[in-house]
Structure 1
Amino acid sequence: MTRVPTELSSRLLDVRRIYHEHDIERFARAREVLERFPDAERIEVLSHQAIPGLHGNAGAVEDWVRNKREVLVLGEKKSLSARRNERSSDWIAPSTANGCAMACSYCYVPRRKGFANPITVFANIEAILGYLERHAGRQGVKPAPNQCDPVDWVYDIGENSDCSADALVSDNVRDLVDLFGRLPHAKASFATKLVNRDLLTWDPRGGTRVRFSLMPEAPSRLVDIRTSRISERIAAMDDFVEAGYEVHVNLSPVIVHENWLEEWAELLQQVADGTSPRTRAQLAAEIIFLTHNEDLHQVNLGWHPKGEELLWRPDLQQVKRSQSGQVNVRYRTGWKGRWVQQLTDLVATTLPECRVRYAF
């Protein structure tokens, strides 16, 4: 198994309970994870998606961070499919994990998984890798450039997790990086808020795009719980480029508040001053303004109410009901368009080498 950065792992994880599906040890990856945490209590469950006392348990909100630190889940990814995306990537790859050890208070994943979302590792990695290789092979040469990539088909491998944190638990992410390092016409991509320098010892061969999520330092300290500091993420960008990764940035979520644009100007200048010409020449950005959720707002009031003073701004937001019937809030029409333009203009003047792939 990959060498794990001890300090980083011990800061985020103290695994005491592992919930696992029946006969999970038939998978070599599951055995590796169990061996990595030999003292953890093992609890068999019918499904990784329905764990009594964990998923959907409103009472667990008080143990929000403790569950992330102390609990792992092992399961099998039974449905394998690549879903069209065409925004951050051409395809969303089948997950090799979901949930997260970090606890960003705006994260959408808890809306789907209930009141606790520790890392779930999918142990049938060989089946997932095989599916992806066959899928990428069927696509052939990309017929035309698009905003995802001018040459390669891009596969998002971390839609419901942070791959830098997943790599602390298993070799699933390394296996994916190795796969896309040898696949023609295909590239892996994932967004991260964690600097895991063990990834610098791998050999991505240009086949993986790492998208460092950035926001100004002050709001990040309030809502990016258990993540790497913004300055650390910026400082790592040159190193990841030198190691053979493509590096982009996710300027997200953009949280509007008093003096927000001045804070973003300072952040973009930090990126310009803190990265090399080589890094800036290959840089691209996604800009995503905050969308919040009424249910998540109520959950957050139970464990991190201070962050909601920044995220929940009825004076600036309007309701948008999702296709699933959930009540989401986003910045008001008209205002948001002006703010998007102000930030994209700021990128153009402060970080002119960085193209904006999309902004909304």
Structure 2
Amino acid sequence: MSAPLLDIRRIYCEPAAAALPRGQAILARFPAVERIEVASHWRIPELREAEPEEYLRPKREVLVLGVKKGLAFRPNGRSADFIAPSTSNGCAMACAYCYVARRKGHANPITVFANIEQILAATARHAAQQGPKREPNQVDPDAWVYDLGENGDLSVDALISDNVRDLVALFRSLPHAKGSFATKGVTPALLDYDPQGRTRIRMSLMPPGMAKLLDVRTAPIAERIAFIPELHRAGYELHLNFSPVVLHEGWEAEWTALFAELDAVLPAAVKQQLAAEIIMLTHNEALHEVNLAWHPRAEDLLWRPDIQEEKRSEAGGVNLRYRTGWKGRWLSRFQALLAQHMPYCRVRYAF
């Protein structure tokens, strides 16, 4: 029997978070665990000094409670129109390619922000300021779409608090806006949130063999696919997130098989509204070094200097992307396979 995704044994908590109603509710869910007061959810030496080989333990056993201080909204134009202030940071999952900043320490366990009322109010104000969407774009033809889970997976967050339920309820009430988040989880509680079409879930998928190696501590691909019709019946808009596309010998056959499975499982009602985003792998030199300590087999697929080239990030880090020219041809080939096997699936964004 596999270990549970969460087995919280220690909570690092800012006093301000513990004083808020949401913080108190979270602490009440874990009454017997060790609590350690911290001045800042970003600065926790015990997490930064963890052994690299102990990458998974803190993701399973540690929870951090904090207060979200910056409530800025960033324009996006890819997966969403705007990136909303996050209600969490970090993740209990351990995808080997994850780009989320590891500012709390190399494992970056979940931080839940307790000032949910402030985040909700800021989001409602921002959406009201936009008014109706004047022109359709590739994000959505009618609504302003807000990405809610840039720094984690809200399906996991829903196991910890009612923050996700509150977000879904907010967008149910906003006439010109939708919420959106990508997930690799299967959380039945989401089915009771009554989104009424105002929250878009982007189910992240890749071939099962690849996911078994790279999507560590996530729901199996077959379970994610089976959950899609349930989410749609519960009132969510469902899109697919083919990300990352990791190139290796035999990738075309693997993705073709995945498309065939989706075509067989998805009901007509899902297919009629289906869209997808396609994102080719970008890897990172610092993450490569972390992975070598705890999951070196993943790097056989992710770190491919023979078909990748370096590109400096805005922060100065060394990223590896598939080589210019080749990447475009491979992306075109991927889109052609998708169109052949799932012609009803509109590609909303590809990079």
2:227 corresponds to: 236
Q: Distance in 1 between matches of 2:119 and 2:64?
A: 18
Partner SS state of residue 15, structure 1 = coil
Say which SS state the counterpart of residue 35 (structure 1) adopts: helix
CA distance in 2 between counterparts of 1:219 and 1:113 reads 28
Gaps of 5+ in 2: none
Q: Which amino acid aligns with 1:19?
A: Y
Gap runs ≥5 in structure 1: 1-6
Contact 1:164 1:196 in 2 (8 A): yes
Which among 9, 24, 48 is matched to residue 16 of structure 1? Answer: 9
* Counterpart position of 2:306: 315
3-state SS, counterpart of residue 194 of structure 2:
coil
Q: 1:300 maps to which residue?
A: 291
Given that 1:317 and 1:331 are in contact with CA atoms closer than 8 Å, whether structure 2 keeps it comes out as yes
How far 1:22 sits from its partner (Å)? 2.2
2:147 is equivalent to residue 191 of structure 1: no
Paired residue total: 351
- Give runs of ≥4 in structure 1 deviating > 2 Å: 22-25, 110-114
Q: Deviations over 1:212-259 (max 9, x none)?
A: 000001110001001001111111111111110000000010000001
Match of 2:72 in 1: 81
**Equivalent in the alignment of 1:4:** none
Matched residue, 2:37: 44
Question: Which residue of the partner structure matches residue 173 of structure 2?
Answer: 182
Aligned counterparts of 1:311 and 1:275: Cα–Cα separation in 2:
30
Any idea what SS the aligned residue of 2:292 has?
helix
SS at match of 2:216: coil
Letter of the structure 2 residue corresponding to residue 327 of structure 1? V
Aligned-partner Cα distance in 2 for 1:140–1:337:
37
Q: CA deviation at 1:66?
A: 0.4
Distance 2:102 2:122 in 1: 28
CA offsets per residue over residues 69-115 of structure 1, 9 Å max, x none? 00000000011111110110000000100100110010011455431
How big is the shift at 1:61? 1.6
Distance 1:278 1:112 in 2: 42
- RMSD (Å), alpha carbons: 1.3
Aligned-partner residue type, residue 181 of structure 1: R
Cα 1:317/1:111, change in 2 over 3 Å: farther
User: 1:179 & 1:208 partners in 2: Cα distance?
Assistant: 10
Letter in 2 for 1:298: E
* Residue number in structure 2 paired with 1:53: 46
**Equivalent residue for 1:25, pick from 12, 18, 34:** 18
Whole-Å separation in 2 of the counterparts to 1:148 and 1:342: 23
**CA deviations over 1:22-67 (Å, ceiling 9, x no partner):** 2432200000110001111111111001111213x3x432211100
Structure 2: distance between partners of 1:351 and 1:224: 24
Report the Cα distance in structure 1 between the residues aligned to 2:209 and 2:112, rounded to whole angstroms: 32
Residue type matched to 1:349 in 2? Q
Q: Write the distance in 2 (CA, Å) between the matches of 1:301 and 1:312.
A: 10
Cα deviation per residue 1:308-333 (whole Å; 9 max; x = unaligned)? 11111111111111111100001111
Rounded to whole Å, the distance in 2 between the matches of 1:114 and 1:331 is 28
* AA of the residue aligned to 1:237: I
Distance 2:17 2:281 in 1: 38
Query: Which whole-Å deviations, capped at 9, do the CAs of 1:153-175 have from their partners, x for residues lacking one?
Result: 00000000100000000100100
**TM-score, normalisation: structure 2:** 0.98
Shift of 1:280: 0.6
1:282 matches 2:282: no
Match of 2:318 in 1: 327
In 2, the alpha carbon distance for the partners of 1:236 and 1:23 equals 37
Tell me the secondary structure at the aligned position of residue 137 of structure 1. helix
1:111 touches 1:296 (CA, 8 Å); kept in 2?
no
Matched residue, 1:126: 117
User: Which residue number corresponds to residue 146 of structure 2?
Assistant: 155
SS of the residue 2:306 aligns to: coil
Residue in structure 2 matched with residue 95 of structure 1 by the alignment? 86
Answer yes or no: is the 8 Å Cα contact 1:153–1:185 preserved in 2.
Answer: yes
Q: Percent identity?
A: 59
Q: How does the TM-score come out when normalised to structure 1? A: 0.95
